Amino acid sequence: MHIQHTADDHRGGRHQRQHHHAQYNKHHAQESLTTRVSKLICAVFLSILFTVGLVTFILWLSLRPHRPRFHIHEFSIPSLAEPNGFSNVHVTYNVTAQNPNLDIGIYYDTMNLTLYYQDQTIAETPLLFPFYQSSKNTAIVYGTLSGPTLRINYARWIQLLAARKQGSVPFRLDVASSIRFKVSAWDSRHHKMHANCEIGVGSNGMLLESDKEKKCPIGITICYVEISVKVHEGGSVVGNKSLVAFCQGRKNSVTEEVVIGGDQQLRGGGVAGDGGLRMTVETVFKYRVLNWKTKIRHMGFEGFVRSGSEGNFSENIYLHKIP
Ligand SMILES: *[C@@H]1O[C@H](CO)[C@@H](O)[C@H](O)[C@H]1NC(C)=O
Ligand SMILES: *[C@@H]1O[C@H](CO)[C@@H](O)[C@H](O)[C@H]1NC(C)=O
Ligand SMILES: *[C@@H]1O[C@H](CO)[C@@H](O)[C@H](O)[C@H]1NC(C)=O
Ligand SMILES: *[C@@H]1O[C@H](CO)[C@@H](O)[C@H](O)[C@H]1NC(C)=O
């Protein structure tokens, strides 16, 4: 009886254990089912996120505005090949601006043309703009520079003729434009850009064959926030000058004359030809690529000037960078 009871009890216990076991299995199955479902949801969610990201990236790639592309087709100074060309000097140019965007229009609000010879401006003119360019359209910018617009004096003409004898005369044509993109109903901010056509004119006065249809790259601009030039003599500043803030296009050089005098007298020693003077140039600037500017950078340069007995400083001194 006792034993039976025990057996009964035992049987009951086993039954109960079996029941527990089944419940445990069921619970386990339920649990793994929920993990599987949540894993599946997670995977679906992640792949949706990835697809949306990819589609957005592709849309951004295809819809983001591209800057116009500039090419030079013609450029000539025909009178360069004539015996009395100086009396009749004029320049003709033909540059195209292409809008490479599929669905984005471009407003050209201003466009200025500057012609350089050895980094000296020899012509500068605003073009008759503004205009709107629809997508995939090519605008032809052509014209003639002559008369007062063209700053070619006789001395420069002689330089051009000498360069012509060497084979080709190098020029740089800068097309500066202020543009806005039009994406459906939305207008972007202004973007200022410079297209730089580096070209050569052959001895016949025409654009070199190798430069025809040449692409005019769009350069990085450097914007100076501050340029400060100082002349030091024996530890004290004897002269200084700050230049006003300006932006400088690609391959552009700037010449500034710094006159130090008046109340800023150079004291005795510098003129007498002793230890000389130390000159420093400190610049604060930002790079600008299209509309994006880098953070402000600082750079300092210094060089030493030794004066002649007459007190003139005519040598070219190299200013090395101060770390
Ligand atoms: C300028 O160049 C383009 C492209 O070569 C040409 O189609 C166009 O006729 C030229 N325009 C002038 C006025 O020379
Ligand atoms: C073109 O020149 C005008 C007048 O000098 C100036 O106001 C304008 O900002 C210039 N535009 C560009 C794009 O450099
Ligand atoms: C720079 O020159 C100006 C006058 O032109 C003067 O007032 C200023 O104190 C000078 N600065 C230094 C650092 O010498
Ligand atoms: C200074 O000028 C004189 C004549 O103008 C010249 O002979 C001399 O070489 C010059 N000195 C320097 C250091 O350039």
- The DSSP symbol for 189 reads -
Å from CA of 252 to ligand 3 middle: 29
Instruction: Indicate the length of the chain as a whole number.
Output: 323
Q: In whole angstroms, what is the distance from residue 226 CA to residue 246 CA? A: 8
Q: According to the model, what pLDDT value does residue 270 have?
A: 43
Å from CA of 234 to ligand 3 middle: 17
Å from CA of 311 to ligand 3 middle: 22
For the domain spanning 69-216, the CATH number is 2.60.40
Q: According to the model, what pLDDT value does residue 1 have?
A: 41
Residue with tokens 């960078």: 321
Strands 131-133 and 191-201: unpaired
Helix residue ranges, H only, the chain:
2-63, 154-165, 268-272
Whether 242 lines ligand 3, by a CB cut-off of 6 Å, is: no
Q: According to the model, what pLDDT value does residue 18 have?
A: 60
- Quick one: which atom of ligand 2 is closest to the CA of 193? 13
Q: In whole angstroms, what is the distance from residue 159 CA to residue 137 CA? A: 39
Whether 112 lines ligand 2, by a CB cut-off of 6 Å, is: yes
Whether 41 lines ligand 3, by a CB cut-off of 6 Å, is: no
Q: What are the boundaries of each domain within the chain?
A: 1-63, 69-216, 221-322
Q: In whole angstroms, what is the distance from residue 323 CA to residue 144 CA? A: 48
Å from CA of 94 to ligand 1 middle: 6
- The DSSP symbol for 128 reads S
Q: In whole angstroms, what is the distance from residue 95 CA to residue 197 CA? A: 9
Whether 237 lines ligand 3, by a CB cut-off of 6 Å, is: yes
Whether 94 lines ligand 1, by a CB cut-off of 6 Å, is: yes
Whether 146 lines ligand 1, by a CB cut-off of 6 Å, is: no
Q: According to the model, what pLDDT value does residue 24 have?
A: 61
Å from CA of 96 to ligand 1 middle: 8
Name the closest ligand to CA 175.
Answer: 2
**Which residue, judged by its Cα, is nearest atom 1 of ligand 1?**
94
User: Coil, strand or helix: which one is 287?
Assistant: strand
**Which residue, judged by its Cα, is nearest atom 4 of ligand 3?**
240
Per-residue pLDDT of the chain (323 residues; tens, 9 = 90+): 444 444 444 544 555 556 666 666 666 667 788 888 889 999 999 999 999 999 988 887 777 788 899 999 999 999 988 888 888 899 999 999 999 988 889 999 999 999 988 878 899 999 877 889 998 999 999 999 998 889 888 899 999 999 998 888 999 899 989 888 888 777 777 888 888 888 899 988 899 988 888 888 886 667 777 788 888 877 777 777 887 766 666 556 666 666 665 454 555 444 444 557 788 888 887 776 655 667 777 888 888 776 655 566 656 777 788 87
Q: In whole angstroms, what is the distance from residue 162 CA to residue 203 CA? A: 10
Q: According to the model, what pLDDT value does residue 248 have?
A: 67
Do the beta carbons of residue 107 and residue 130 sit within 8 Å? yes
What is the Rg, in whole angstroms, of the alpha carbon atoms belonging to the chain? 37
Task: Give exposure, 22-32, as e/b (b: 16+ Cβ within 10 Å).
Answer: eeeeeeeeeee
Full-model pTM: 0.57
Q: In whole angstroms, what is the distance from residue 44 CA to residue 51 CA? A: 10
With the most atoms of ligand 2 within 8 angstroms of its CB, the residue from 112, 221, 291 to mutate is 112
Å from CA of 260 to ligand 3 middle: 11
Q: In whole angstroms, what is the distance from residue 305 CA to residue 271 CA? A: 11
**Nearest CA among 288, 285, 286 for reference residue 220:** 288
User: Coil, strand or helix: which one is 228?
Assistant: strand
With the most atoms of ligand 1 within 8 angstroms of its CB, the residue from 76, 94, 197, 207 to mutate is 94
Q: According to the model, what pLDDT value does residue 313 have?
A: 62
Enumerate the β-bridge partners of residue 289: 292
Residue 226 CB partners (closer than 8 Å, separation 6+): 242, 243, 245, 282, 283, 284
Whether 192 lines ligand 2, by a CB cut-off of 6 Å, is: yes
Name the closest ligand to CA 212.
Answer: 1
Q: According to the model, what pLDDT value does residue 145 have?
A: 92
